[in-house]
Amino acid sequence: MKKTLFEKIWDKHVVTTVEDGPTQLYVDRLYCHEVTTPQAFDGLRKRGLKVFRPQQVTGMPDHNVPTLNQDQPIADPVSRKQVETLDKNAKEFGIQYFPIGHPKNGVIHVVGPENGLSLPGMTMVCGDSHTSTHGAVGAVAFGIGTSEVEMVLATQCVFQSRPKTMRITVKGQLKTGVTAKDLALYIISKMTTGGATGYFVEYAGEAVEKLSMEGRLTLCNLSIEMGARGGMVAPDDITFEYVKGLEYAPKGAEWDKALTYWKTLKTDKDAKFDKEIVFDAAGIEPMVTYGTNPGMGMGINDAIPTLESIDEASRASFAKSLEYMGFKPGEKMAGKPIDYVFLGSCTNGRIEDFRAFANFVKGKKKAGNVVVWLVPGSWKVDKQIREEGLDTILIEAGFEIRQPSCSACLAMNEDKVPAGKYAVSTSNRNFEGRQGPGARTILASPLVAAAAAISGKITDPRAILPKES
C-alpha cells in the first residue's frame, strides 16, 4: 500500500491501537520548558515514578527568561519561580538540561534542530503548540497538554487520535524579497485559522523544496496557526547537509545507516492524501497582518478588506479586531507609523533571519522613534552573529543585540509592548495582548521588520532592498 511521509513515520511508531479509539504512539524525543511541565513532574513525584527514558527528554527555560542581565536573578517572582522549578525537576529526574547561561540554552524550538536533537523520521512532542517547527527536518512533531507530558515522562508514549493528512503544494519560485515567513502568512490567510484543523500537513512543491532549512523551520512553525496538528517537509539533500556534523546527529557508520533510512522518507508516488491544496508562488508578496489572528494577513501594498467583503457571520469579530488594532476597513497598511520592532522567537530567531536583517540595514540607521528588540533564538545563534561580524553591522546602524529568550513573542517576560503601541513582529501570534496588555501586533518577515526599523513605518522592503539580495 502506498503511503504518505506522515503515514510512514506514524506507522513505524505505533505501539498499540485502541479499537475505535486513540493510538499509543512511541515518542523519540520530549522537549520540556518551564511553563507546561511543573504539574507533569509533580504527577510523577506523587505516584513515585521516575522518568522512563531520561536520555530522550531535553529541557530548558525560554518563555520567562529575560533578555538582559541573565547572570542575575530573575526580577519577576513568578518567572523566577517557574525557572527555578524546572531547574529543580531537571536535576531530580535526571533529564538532559540546558539552564540559563548554558551555551546550548535558548528557545527550545531553535535549540533542538540546530544541535541535531531533532532528526528525520523522529516523533517529537512538547507542551507547546509550536512543536510543529521540528517537522521541517522530516519528522512528526506536535504539541501536547500537561497531562500528556506526564504520560510521556512516565512511559515514553502518548495516546493520540490519528490525524487526517493534507498536502499543500506551492508551485513555482518565490519572488525576490518574499521569504518563508511571507509564504506561511500567505497560506494561513487563504486557509484561515481553522482551515487545516484535524490535519497533519506535508508541504511540497518547488517553492518549498528551494527553502533553506531555516525557512522550512519557519514554515512548519506556523502550521498550528491554521489549525493543523503539525507540518512537515520531506527530508532531502538540504536536510542532510544541515544535520550532518551536528553534535547529536549520528556519526560514522551510524550516519551512513541513518542516511539510508532517511532517504526512504518521502511520500510514495500515488499515495493518497485526505486533502490536497495547491498555491502558486508567483502570487505571493511580502505579507503583513492587520488584525488579531494570523489569518488576517495581506500583501503589504494591499488594502484591508472592506466590511462588505467579509462573510456576514464573521463581520462582528472582524470589526472588533480592527477596533482593537485602530485600523479601518479599506485602509492601506503601507506607510502606517509603528513604535516597536521585534526580531526573534521560534519563528524567526535563527542565524539566517539575522543575516537577512543585518544585510538589509547595512549602511543605514535605525529610525529614532522606534524601539527595536533583536533577540537571537539561542546562544549558538548569538555566537554565529558575532563570528560573522553581523553585530558590528547592527551596532553601526544603531541597534543592540539582546540575550536569547522567547522575549517579545509573548508577555511572559520583561519585553512587553506598551498598550496602544504598534509592533512589527517576526513572531507567530498577534492575538489581543499577546505582546503585552493592549499591545498591537503586526506579524511580518525579518525583511519587513528591517524596513520598518529604519523607516519607522510599514514599508515594502523591495523598495529599498540591497542589490546583492
What is the DSSP track for 286-351? -EEE-SSSTTSEEETTSBPPPGGGS-GGGHHHHHHHHHHHT--TT-B-TT-B-SEEEE-HHHH-SH
Q: Where in the chain is the domain with CATH 3.30.499.10?
A: 5-275, 287-463
Mean pLDDT over 35-57 rounds to 97
Amino acid identity, residue 114?
Answer: E
Question: 263 pLDDT exceeds 80?
Answer: yes
Q: What three-state secondary structure class fits 202?
A: strand
Mean pLDDT over 351-360 rounds to 98
Mean pLDDT over 136-157 rounds to 98
Mean pLDDT over 64-88 rounds to 97
Rounded to 5 degrees, what are φ and ψ at 215?
-65, -40
Fold classification of 287-463 (topology level): Aconitase; domain 3 (3.30.499)
The confidence score (pLDDT) of residue 469 equals: 42
Mean pLDDT over 160-185 rounds to 98
Question: 372 pLDDT exceeds 80?
Answer: yes
Question: 466 pLDDT exceeds 90?
Answer: no
pLDDT digits (tens, 9 = 90+) for 409-464: 999 999 999 999 999 999 999 999 999 999 999 999 999 999 999 999 999 999 98
Mean pLDDT over 249-259 rounds to 98
Question: 468 pLDDT exceeds 80?
Answer: no
| CA–CA gap between residue 233 and residue 133 (Å, rounded) | 10
Mean pLDDT of the chain: 97
Amino acid identity, residue 256?
Answer: D
**62 with 406: CB under 8 angstroms?**
yes
pLDDT digits (tens, 9 = 90+) for 377-406: 999 999 999 999 999 999 999 999 999 999
Question: 467 pLDDT exceeds 70?
Answer: no
CATH class, domain 5-275, is alpha beta
Binning pLDDT at 50, 70 and 90, where does residue 465 land?
confident
